[in-house]
Structure 1
Amino acid sequence: MPGKILVVDDEVHIRMLLEQTLEELEDDYGVELFTAENGEEGLDTIRQERPELVFLDIMMPYMNGYEVCQAVREDESLSEIKIILLTAKGQESDRKHGLEIGAERYMTKPFDPDEILEVAKNILRIED
């Protein structure tokens, strides 16, 4: 069952790297990829497209990743969406806060593309 993945990051090269990492899922399994370049656009896309998985940066303009995650968690109709915070903020307090507000997982940049792909496959229940 193909799914939808949204990448929300204000840095264009990070979005492109994540898209390149995840395009295998698009090509091989029919997963739809979406991107947004700030938190506000990301939340709009989440509400419109209802992706199963969101890779979400924290430090972004308009709305930060914590605010987006919290808004998603407060909307019962979006409760099934899995959010992976993917950020340069590596402090334990940042990680703890991210998990407390409802992120499925907290990953730091730089990230391992293989791990990103594995996380996406697990969440979307894609088996090789």
Structure 2
Amino acid sequence: MSALEKILHVEDDADIREIAKIALEMIGEFDVHQCASGHDAIAIAEEYAPDLILLDVMMPVIGGEETLRELRKIPALDGVPAVFMTAKAHQKEKQALLEQGAVAVIVKPFDPTTLADDIRAIWSAL
């Protein structure tokens, strides 16, 4: 598998977006494009061509699961690994997200100092 460089991060909470941006760009040295909504992500995802998609589950209008289903309809993004981020940490909920096509689930609140390493570990396990 190629190197992980570009991450599309979809999160409606501005504070979480900022923390994740610092964690992924400054600490992890990834190229990160952030979107505040599923609709924004769907609009730019193909052009951005991410190596990995990092999605919040609970967002207004179009949630993470629906966003992922829409992104999977774009042929160029069909095989791009997706990771959900959620505050719902129960095993049953995590399993349901994996069944939706995610390769992993990161539980919020996440540790900004280890987020990039967590993402790298997920990528290495693919």
What is the TM-score of this pair, normalised by structure 1? 0.81
Kept in 1, the 8 Å contact 2:9–2:34? The answer is yes
Choose the corresponding residue for 1:4, options 3, 6, 9. Answer: 6
Structure 1: runs of 5 or more not aligned: none
Aligned to 1:25: 28
CA gap 1:91/1:48 in 2 versus in 1, 3 angstroms: same
Aligned to 1:15: 17
How far apart, CA to CA, are the structure 2 residues paired with 1:94 and 1:61?
19
How far apart, CA to CA, are the structure 2 residues paired with 1:120 and 1:34?
15
Per the TM alignment, residue 124 of structure 1 is displaced from its structure 2 partner at its CA by 5.8
Counterpart AA for 1:59: M
How far apart, CA to CA, are the structure 2 residues paired with 1:22 and 1:84?
14
Over the aligned positions, Cα root-mean-square deviation in angstroms equals 2.0
Per the TM alignment, residue 110 of structure 1 is displaced from its structure 2 partner at its CA by 0.7
Aligned to 2:111: 112
Q: What pairs up with 1:1-128 in 2 under 5 angstroms?
A: 3-23=5-25, 24-26=27-29, 31-122=30-121
Counterpart AA for 1:35: Q
Counterpart AA for 1:86: M
How far apart, CA to CA, are the structure 2 residues paired with 1:64 and 1:18?
19
Identity %: 29
Structure 2: runs of 5 or more not aligned: none
What is the TM-score of this pair, normalised by structure 2? 0.82
